[in-house]
Amino acid sequence: MRKCEVAVLGLGLMGGAALNALLDAGVDALGFDPVGPGSDRGSSHGSCRIFRRFNFENPNYTSLSDEAHAGWIRLQSESGQTVLTETPVLEAGRSGSAMVASSRAAAIAKGRADPMLTAAQANKEFPAFTLPDDWDVVVQDGGAILRTGVVMKLMRARAGNRVIAERASFTPHHNGVSIRTATQEFFAERAILALGPWLGRALPRLGALLNVTRQAVGWFDPARPDTVALGRFPIFILDRGPNDMVYGFPDFEQHGVKAAPHNHGRVVDPDDWGPNATDAELRPIGEALAALVPGAAGPIIDRDVCLYTNTAPADRLPDAGEEFIIDRWPDSRLIVCSACSGHGAKFAPAIGQRLARLATDPSYEAESFFQLSRYSQFA
Ligand SMILES: Cc1cc2nc3c(=O)[nH]c(=O)nc-3n(C[C@H](O)[C@H](O)[C@H](O)COP(=O)(O)OP(=O)(O)OC[C@H]3O[C@@H](n4cnc5c(N)ncnc54)[C@H](O)[C@@H]3O)c2cc1C
């Protein structure tokens, strides 16, 4: 039986970052995942995610973004590959949009100039848009296209032969965790479970707090390609009302404008994703583009499905839900990570560091808003 100090189960962005952080720190760590970079499964698949410095979800995330940014820049300079492509982020919503107000407040709190624009100013600066006059708009700097396809390959390459490309099951013991794959057995002093949508299945008690949803993504052939090219067009997030957010990217891959809903799709089993994104799922996105970003609107040329893993609102700490879980699992040598909820990718280097520290430094705790004790059943 092979032994190691820390086993990382699941090598999406979170587990991959944790394994890299452990190996960089000289820890005897092994990672397990049957799925490799370039696959179309797992919540981290695909070429890109949005990096935002100022996060409307939680002002505390600015420092997490800054920490992660340093990690991305390190990865970029060490690999010589583009990991972040700096791009402004336009956030707009109906008058009084809480999303816009929170993003604006987070930027101002860090001493940035007020990022507020009128809709007319935004439409002039970015002619693909026709935002209504009474909409609130902010354009934040510090945003970027995060090249997750590149990142997944780099993380896996850095881990080298410390990766076992097999599905793993685990059994906790008082002194460690035994890990079993189809062909091998291992014993780890501690194990990090970074299983994304599959985490709730591995720990059903945690699964009761997690909600896995199917998220449709489309690529649209832009009506006016010149207006949506990289450098001329921002990343955008449009708040059209309750449970109706649409986001998208510039056409940075000459593959059309990638756009998707940020509201939750239907709840699914992580092994049963259903068909590829349907016309019915993508129709509201096409309609939103036609109404608000006509330069980007056009026929659907590609489509995909990905999964969000959403956390339930906490009942002990103020929390609107969708906060991450980064903590030790009670009475065990397991560390759990559920960092999806549709906005975790950007933080992966910072989350990986936290997971590595939880596994190696008994005195370390992640921030209280990431801890399980925010739920009364874990307090
Ligand atoms: C459509 C979409 C858009 C998003 N947009 C953004 C965005 O713009 N910005 C942002 O910051 N975030 C975004 N996110 C969220 C972000 O992508 C996720 O937070 C992140 O990818 C979650 O990574 P993960 O490592 O937790 O999960 P995953 O990537 O799902 O990794 C889990 C891994 O566990 C493996 N696994 C499962 N079972 C086992 C087992 N038994 N043994 C070994 N391995 C196992 C799986 O194969 C998988 O690779 C988006 C997510 C989606 C779905």
| 220 and 353 together in one domain | no
| 114 and 215 together in one domain | yes
**Token pair recorded at residue 194:** 């970074």
What 3-state class would DSSP assign to 11? Answer: coil
| 195 and 226 together in one domain | no
Ligand 1 centroid, distance to 62 Cα (angstroms): 21
The rounded distance, in Å, linking the Cα atoms of 350 and 335 is 15
Residue 205: Cβ within 10 Å count: 11
Residue range(s) defining the domain that contains residue 240: 89-141+211-311
The rounded distance, in Å, linking the Cα atoms of 186 and 194 is 18
Asked whether residue 266 is domain-assigned, the answer is: yes
Question: Token match 């780890």: residue?
Answer: 188
Asked whether residue 263 is domain-assigned, the answer is: yes
pLDDT in tens, 275-321: 999 999 999 999 999 999 999 999 999 999 999 999 999 999 878 77
CB of 195 sitting under 6 A from ligand 1: yes
First to last CA, the chain: 36
Which mutation among 41, 57, 195, 258 tests ligand 1's pocket best, with the greatest number of atoms within 8 A of CB? 195
| 120 and 157 together in one domain | no
| 133 and 31 together in one domain | no
311, 341, 362 - which closes a domain: 311
CB of 192 sitting under 6 A from ligand 1: no
- Asked if 270 contacts 197 with a C-beta cutoff of 8 angstroms, the reply is yes
| 291 and 305 together in one domain | yes
CB of 248 sitting under 6 A from ligand 1: no
- Asked if 19 contacts 190 with a C-beta cutoff of 8 angstroms, the reply is no
Please tell me the predicted confidence (pLDDT) of residue 65: 97
Q: Which atom of ligand 1 is nearest to the CA of 169?
A: 41
282, 311, 340 - which closes a domain: 311
Give, in order, the Cα–Cα distances in Å from 45 to each of 74, 145, 149, 191, 196.
22, 15, 7, 23, 12
Ligand 1 centroid, distance to 32 Cα (angstroms): 14
Q: Domain count of the chain?
A: 2
| 235 and 264 together in one domain | yes
**Token pair recorded at residue 356:** 């590595």
Beta bridge partners of residue 192, listed in sequence order: 8, 335
CB-neighbour burial class of residue 280 (10 A; exposed 0-12, middle 13-18, buried 19+): exposed
Going by CA atoms, what residue is nearest to atom 49 of ligand 1?
A: 12
* Per-residue pLDDT in tens (0 to 9) along the chain, 379 residues: 999 999 999 999 999 999 999 999 999 999 999 999 989 889 999 999 999 999 999 888 999 999 999 999 999 999 999 999 999 999 999 999 999 999 999 999 999 999 999 999 999 999 999 999 999 999 999 999 999 999 999 999 999 999 999 999 999 999 999 999 999 999 999 999 999 999 999 999 999 999 999 999 999 999 999 999 999 999 999 999 988 999 999 999 999 999 999 999 999 999 988 899 999 999 999 999 999 999 999 999 999 999 999 999 999 987 877 899 999 999 999 999 997 778 999 999 999 999 999 999 999 999 999 999 999 999 9
DSSP 95-136: TT-HHHHHHHHHHHHTTPPP-EE-HHHHHHHSTT----TT-E
- Asked if 312 contacts 211 with a C-beta cutoff of 8 angstroms, the reply is yes
DSSP 8-state secondary structure symbol assigned to residue 9: E
| 318 and 307 together in one domain | no
Please tell me the predicted confidence (pLDDT) of residue 8: 98
- Asked if 347 contacts 55 with a C-beta cutoff of 8 angstroms, the reply is no
DSSP 8-state secondary structure symbol assigned to residue 377: G
| 226 and 271 together in one domain | yes
| 265 and 369 together in one domain | no
Please tell me the predicted confidence (pLDDT) of residue 288: 98
DSSP 328-368: EPTTSSEEEEE--TT--GGGHHHHHHHHHHHHH-TT----G
Q: Which atom of ligand 1 is nearest to the CA of 201?
A: 38
Asked whether residue 73 is domain-assigned, the answer is: no
- Asked if 198 contacts 273 with a C-beta cutoff of 8 angstroms, the reply is no
CB of 194 sitting under 6 A from ligand 1: yes
Q: Which atom of ligand 1 is nearest to the CA of 217?
A: 1
pLDDT in tens, 231-241: 999 999 999 99
Q: Which atom of ligand 1 is nearest to the CA of 196?
A: 27
Asked whether residue 54 is domain-assigned, the answer is: no
The rounded distance, in Å, linking the Cα atoms of 86 and 90 is 13
How many helices, marked H, and strands, marked E, lie in the chain? 9, 19
Going by CA atoms, what residue is nearest to atom 34 of ligand 1?
A: 10
311, 330, 348 - which closes a domain: 311
Asked whether residue 234 is domain-assigned, the answer is: yes
| 100 and 129 together in one domain | yes
Asked whether residue 84 is domain-assigned, the answer is: no
Ligand 1 centroid, distance to 42 Cα (angstroms): 5
What 3-state class would DSSP assign to 284? Answer: helix
* Mean pLDDT value across the chain: 96
CATH of the domain at 185: 3.50.50.60
Ligand 1 centroid, distance to 93 Cα (angstroms): 28
Question: Token match 């903590």: residue?
Answer: 327
CB of 14 sitting under 6 A from ligand 1: yes
CB of 16 sitting under 6 A from ligand 1: no
Asked whether residue 25 is domain-assigned, the answer is: yes
Contacts of 292 (CB under 8 A, 6+ apart): 92, 129, 130, 131, 238
- Asked if 153 contacts 21 with a C-beta cutoff of 8 angstroms, the reply is no
CATH of the domain at 109: 3.30.9.10
Asked whether residue 101 is domain-assigned, the answer is: yes
| 30 and 115 together in one domain | no
